[in-house]
Amino acid sequence: MSNLANRIEEYLKMVLQQADEGYIVLQRGFLANFFSCAPSQINYVLTTRFSAERGYLVESRRGGGGYLRIVRLGLDPEGKFQRLMAELIGEELSPERANNLLTRLEEEEIFTKRETILIRSIFTSKVLAETSSAPDILRARMMKEILANMCREDVNI
């Protein structure tokens, strides 16, 4: 299923990139017919690859006149970025959500590939479980601190 999921993801990202409005509206049934798959496979791709951590908002209405709206969330330098990240991170951050968020930040060129690799290495469950009884809480606090410092204008810390 991953090959099909990859094709669906690539198609949706391509269509979204071409959209002037920053969002697309599609019907789940159309996508299922287009890719010759079950609607549940479309749902799988939307759930796993178009999450808020990855920079997307998916609105869905089921039924005959139902639709899918996929919105690409933008990042701006005016403070909304930090608030958005704090909301996305919350009080706990699982390894999977952390990886999704790091992938997004690298795609948005907030982090370099090297920075992403370094942060991933300290966020592993192996490292955090050995040092903390609550690794998801520690991971969330560390990510918030990293993002706050990455957004600083004065580099002298």
**Side chain identity at residue 113, one-letter code:** K
- Residue 81 contacts residue 151 (beta carbons within 8 Å): yes
- What does the domain layout of the chain look like in residue ranges? 2-72, 80-150
Nearest to 111 by CA among 146, 71, 157: 146
Other C-beta atoms lying within 10 Å of the C-beta of residue 79: 9
For 138-148, write each residue's pLDDT tens digit: 998 898 878 76
CA angle 89, 91, 96 (to 5 degrees): 50
Query: Closest by alpha carbon to 144, among 98, 76, 107?
Result: 98
pLDDT of residue 76: 57
Whether pTM > 0.95 for this model: the answer is no
Classify residue 19 by burial, with Cβ atoms within 10 Å: 0-12, 13-18, 19+: middle
Higher pLDDT among residues 18 and 154, named by residue: 18
DSSP 23-77: EEEE-HHHHHHHTTS-HHHHHHHHHHHS-TTTTEEEEEE-STT-EEEEEEPP--T
For domain 2-72, the CATH class is alpha beta
pLDDT, tens digit, 9 for 90 and up, residues 85-116: 677 788 888 898 899 889 988 887 888 999 99
Amino acid at 133: S
**Per-residue pLDDT tens digits for 24-82:** 999 888 999 999 999 889 989 998 898 877 778 788 877 666 788 888 776 655 556 66
